[in-house]
Structure 1
Amino acid sequence: MPLIGTVDKIRMATIEDKVISHVSLFNIETLIIDFSGVAGMESAVLQRVMSVLNGISMMGCETVITGLRAEIVKMMISNGLTFENKAITKGTLQQALDKYLA
């Protein structure tokens, strides 16, 4: 699932609804979310991302996060957020595809 542009609260609500619905509907076991195209994200949206990751995990789906930009990582650090125990991280989408589609 590639994300592109700015992710605000309204867009995150749409993403949350679609992700949770699709994980259930299609029995998705591994979901790759690529952030490399994300230009900006508010810190409140990052909190919502963490909640979505918890929901995905509750449904038995493993999440792989790719393409985190330095700005987002810095924002996560300053807000005390981590993907530890919530998702696997890979530097690039290609790294994730190589591992999970092999």
Structure 2
Amino acid sequence: ELVMNFLILHMNGSLEILINIINEGISEKSRPSTYMDQVKSDWKDAWIALTFYTTLNNIIELENVVENEKQRKFYQLLADKFNYLFDETFWNENTGRYVG
């Protein structure tokens, strides 16, 4: 729950796609976004976003198990809008594929 709170409060998780807070949105000045590829991929990263979505779904299941309906509904609302936000952020109509 502490990790989820950090993602939501400090990395924009409650509003839209997570923002990599160590980067400014300018790829030339940014640090690598993930350990996997060490590519400067800007301040919104598809891999990080999908990891957040997986985390959301896992915590929804956990909240369901402990019967914390209020938190489960909160996380479910975030997960429900994720597909739209992901497509809006990473789909490139010109190339016909996801980028980021």
TM tier, shorter chain?
Answer: 0.3 to 0.5
Structure with larger Rg: 2
- Greater helix share, 1 or 2? 2
Name which structure has the greater RCO, CA cutoff 8 Å, separation 6+.
Answer: 1
* TM-score using structure 2 length: 0.33
Give the strand-richer structure, 1 or 2.
1
